[in-house]
Structures are given as C-alpha cells and as structure tokens.
Amino acid sequence: MRHKKSILIFGFFSTLIVISLLLNIAEAAVFYGTVVGTEAKVIQVKGKDGKVSVFWLGHKTRLDSRLPFFGDRVRIEYAKDKLGRNAATRVTILEKK
C-alpha cells in the first residue's frame, strides 16, 4: 500500500512539472522590415506600414550570416521575454544593401 502511494505521488508531481513546462512555451512571431538603426544589443526595424519596432539581441540570438547594417531588409523571429521586450531569436538578412 505504501509503495502505491509513493508511485501515485511521484506520477502527480511529474505530470504537474510537464504541464507547467508546456504552459511556459512562448510562441514565436515573425517580423519583416528594413533596418533603420542599431545600437549595441538593439536593432530598430521599420515595417511596411511605417511602424518602427525595437528588437533586443542576446546570447541566444542566431544570426544566419552577419549583423545587419542600415538599409538591410531582414526577417526577424522573436518572442516576448520576461521583461516584455521583443527578444530576437533569429535574424535573417533577405537583401543586402
């Protein structure tokens, strides 16, 4: 009887851990635009609608070729980080200037 209780408690906590991990997975979004500014770990990108968005680059950001310069057309995959910022996860240069 005691062995069954320990297995049941272990199964409950392992299920709880798996469910909490699945809830914390953030969905990535994609943004296309032209780079209008860079500063240290931040890129400013202007979209087709004229809106300028700011993306933060970090140690987990994958650059496909190089860091984008002014005027480069880019595709940025991003997610919101814990501070609510747009954290870039992958930066792809579509057209080089």
Confidence of residue 65 (pLDDT cuts 50, 70, 90): confident
pTM of the model: 0.69
What is the helix (H) or strand (E) element at residue 96, kind and residue range? none
- What's the pLDDT at 9? 86
- 22 within some domain: no
Structurally, the chain folds into a number of domains equal to 1
Write the pLDDT tens digit of every residue in 40-54.
Answer: 899 999 999 999 999
In whole angstroms, what is the distance from residue 19 CA to residue 11 CA?
12
Nearest residue to 74 (alpha-carbon basis) of 58, 93, 59: 93
- State which residues form the domain around 81: 29-95
- 3 within some domain: no
- What's the pLDDT at 78? 93
Asked if residues 47 and 31 have their Cβ atoms less than 8 Å apart, the reply is: yes
Strands 62-63 and 86-95: parallel
Residues 6+ apart with CB under 8 A from 52: 36, 44, 45, 46
- 23 within some domain: no
- 2 within some domain: no
Specify the CATH number for the domain of residue 34: 2.40.50.320
- 1 within some domain: no
